């Protein structure tokens, strides 16, 4: 390695492990880490090592880019949350001793990533993707449940880490009391969201909601609001995109409420979509309606604005950061359904005017290159003065 080359180890989840997709041959990562890794690929002066823990053997190339190495680390099934990730942390530390990075970067506090970085023995940064302590409070997590335990492990990681990379002002506010140092760097968007349109807007106004069906994302309540608008004679289609657990109480209630709307043709559930499947739906739609009450960043919002959709959303988490300085966005206080309904009705009755060009601003803020450069500055700041 050249003296001026940074050697960074990134601890992140391989989605094949996270989603138990053992038969897939190539590693892949969550949307935000994947966009950052793509931005760092080929970066001059960087040697990046990706470390992923897995319960089963997974095929993987030695390199996933000219300057990016991939390391799969076997950890037994009992080596995760049941043992507070200690076996995973120890396995990662052992691998790091052979790589000898100058900086370690943990991607997220949901599993072992942040703890392993914080206890790596090297200068380190931890990225917050979801504020697990806030989520635990939001769900009134029961003692020793997943969210309860994860929130406590997040606290340990935040106190121990050299510094915390926050994806929004909201996240920074959440972690500042515990963190030694913070940086504010938003999530990157995949380059596909900045490509030319793949489809024309539908003639009828289409409202789109993107996100896994969950109580705090309020899809059922949005469906009920849309039903009232439809009863008042407004014509539109409401599409829901995202995974759905039909066995949960919230999932069953949502499907029951959706059934008559689906028969009438004004609402439907598209299911969980890949990025390639989602983009045409974004291009067909006229507006994104995002009504989550807990949101660290708001990736779906940034992606929709990159496709020039109008936005109607609750002012929560990083959404205020994303929409700063943008026209054609309507933010309301969380759970203020009356104001949201009035905003939607006014827009629909005025002929659902399209959004003006927000894509250029979103590209400037959230391109892979922009966010990769910001991370490189953090890595250089963390790099020891004498290697």
Domain boundaries, the chain: 6-188+367-382, 191-365
Closest C-alpha among 156, 155, 175 to residue 165? 175
> Domain 191-365 falls in which CATH fold?
Rossmann fold (3.40.50)
> Domain 6-188+367-382 falls in which CATH fold?
Rossmann fold (3.40.50)
Closest C-alpha among 262, 220, 271, 215 to residue 243? 271
The H or E element that residue 378 is part of is: helix 368-382
- Residue 22's pLDDT is what? 85
Closest C-alpha among 346, 378, 320 to residue 168? 320
pLDDT in tens, 79-109: 999 999 999 999 999 999 999 999 999 999 9
- Over residues 243-247, the mean pLDDT reads 93
Long-range pairs, 225-230, Cβ under 8 A, ≥24: 225/337, 225/340, 225/341, 225/344, 226/261, 226/266, 226/267, 227/257, 227/261, 228/341, 229/341, 229/344, 229/345, 229/348, 230/261, 230/264, 230/266
- Residue 384's pLDDT is what? 85
pLDDT band at 139 (very low <50, low <70, confident <90, very high): confident
- Over residues 332-359, the mean pLDDT reads 95
Cβ–Cβ < 8 Å for 279, 241 = no
- Residue 59's pLDDT is what? 87
- Over residues 50-71, the mean pLDDT reads 94
- Residue 221's pLDDT is what? 98
Domains 6-188+367-382 and 191-365 share a fold: yes
Output 154 or 138, whichever has higher pLDDT. Answer: 154
The rounded percent of the chain whose pLDDT value lies above 70 is 98
- Residue 357's pLDDT is what? 77
- Residue 35's pLDDT is what? 97
Long-range pairs, 54-57, Cβ under 8 A, ≥24: 54/14, 54/16, 54/17, 55/17, 56/17, 56/22
Q: pLDDT at residue 227 above 70?
A: yes
Closest C-alpha among 344, 357, 341, 342 to residue 309? 357
pLDDT in tens, 261-293: 999 999 999 999 999 999 999 999 999 999 999
Closest C-alpha among 307, 313, 311 to residue 282? 307
E strands, the chain, in order: 6-11, 46-54, 63-65, 68-74, 103-107, 124-127, 163-166, 182-184, 206-210, 237-241, 267-271, 287-290, 310-314, 329-332
Query: How would you classify the pairing of strands 182-184 and 163-166?
Result: parallel
Q: Show Cβ contacts of residue 221 under 8 Å, excluding neighbours closer than 6 positions.
A: 291, 337
Q: pLDDT at residue 2 above 60?
A: no
Burial of 82 (0-12, 13-18, 19+ CB in 10 A): exposed
pLDDT in tens, 177-213: 999 999 999 999 999 999 999 999 999 999 999 999 9
- Over residues 305-321, the mean pLDDT reads 96
Cβ–Cβ < 8 Å for 340, 225 = yes
SS3 state of residue 73: strand
Q: Show Cβ contacts of residue 355 under 8 Å, excluding neighbours closer than 6 positions.
A: 305, 308, 309, 310, 311, 327, 328
- Over residues 16-27, the mean pLDDT reads 91
Angle formed by the axes of helices 275-284 and 299-306, to 10°? 60
pLDDT band at 3 (very low <50, low <70, confident <90, very high): low
Mean model confidence pLDDT for the chain: 95
- Residue 145's pLDDT is what? 95
Q: pLDDT at residue 387 above 70?
A: no
Q: pLDDT at residue 386 above 60?
A: no
DSSP assignment string, 97-110: HHH--SEEEEE-SS
φ and ψ of 256, to 5 deg: -65, -40
Closest C-alpha among 53, 50, 123, 49 to residue 91? 53
Q: pLDDT at residue 113 above 90?
A: yes
């Amino acid at each position: 390695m050249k003296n001026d080359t940074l050697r960074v180890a990134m601890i992140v989840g391989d989605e094949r492990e996270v989603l138990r997709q053992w038969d897939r041959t190539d590693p892949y990562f969550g949307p935000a880490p994947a966009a950052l890794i793509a931005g760092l690929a080929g970066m001059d002066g960087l040697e990046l090592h990706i470390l992923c823990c897995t319960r089963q053997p997974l095929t993987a190339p030695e390199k996933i880019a000219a300057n990016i190495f991939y390391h799969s680390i076997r950890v037994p099934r009992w080596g995760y949350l049941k043992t507070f990730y200690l076996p995973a942390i120890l396995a990662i530390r052992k691998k790091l001793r052979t790589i000898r990075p100058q900086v370690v970067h943990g991607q997220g506090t949901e599993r072992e990533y942040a703890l392993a970085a914080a206890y790596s023995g090297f200068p380190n940064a931890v990225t917050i993707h979801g504020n697990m302590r806030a989520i635990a409070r939001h769900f009134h997590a029961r003692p020793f449940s997943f969210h309860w335990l994860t929130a406590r492990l997040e606290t340990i990681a935040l106190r121990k880490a050299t510094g915390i990379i926050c994806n929004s002002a909201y996240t920074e506010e959440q972690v500042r009391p515990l963190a030694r140092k913070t940086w504010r760097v938003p999530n990157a968007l995949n380059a596909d969201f900045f490509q030319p349109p793949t489809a024309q807007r539908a003639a009828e106004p289409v409202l789109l909601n993107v996100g896994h069906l969950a109580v705090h994302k309020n899809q059922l309540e949005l469906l009920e609001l849309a039903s009232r608008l439809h009863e008042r004679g407004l014509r539109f289609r409401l599409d829901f995109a995202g995974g759905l657990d039909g066995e949960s109480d919230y999932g069953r209630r949502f499907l029951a409420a959706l059934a008559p709307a689906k028969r009438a043709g004004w609402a439907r559930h598209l299911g969980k979509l890949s990025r390639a499947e989602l983009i045409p739906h974004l291009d067909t739609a006229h507006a994104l309606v995002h009504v989550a009450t807990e949101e660290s960043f708001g990736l779906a919002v940034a992606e929709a604005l990159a496709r020039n959709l109008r936005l109607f959303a609750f002012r929560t988490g990083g959404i205020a950061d994303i929409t700063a300085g943008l026209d054609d966005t309507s933010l309301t206080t969380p759970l203020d359904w009356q104001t949201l309904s009035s905003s939607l009705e006014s827009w629909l009755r005025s002929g659902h005017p399209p959004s003006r060009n927000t894509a250029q601003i979103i590209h400037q803020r959230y391109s892979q290159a922009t966010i990769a450069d910001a991370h490189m500055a953090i890595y250089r700041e963390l790099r020891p003065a004498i290697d």
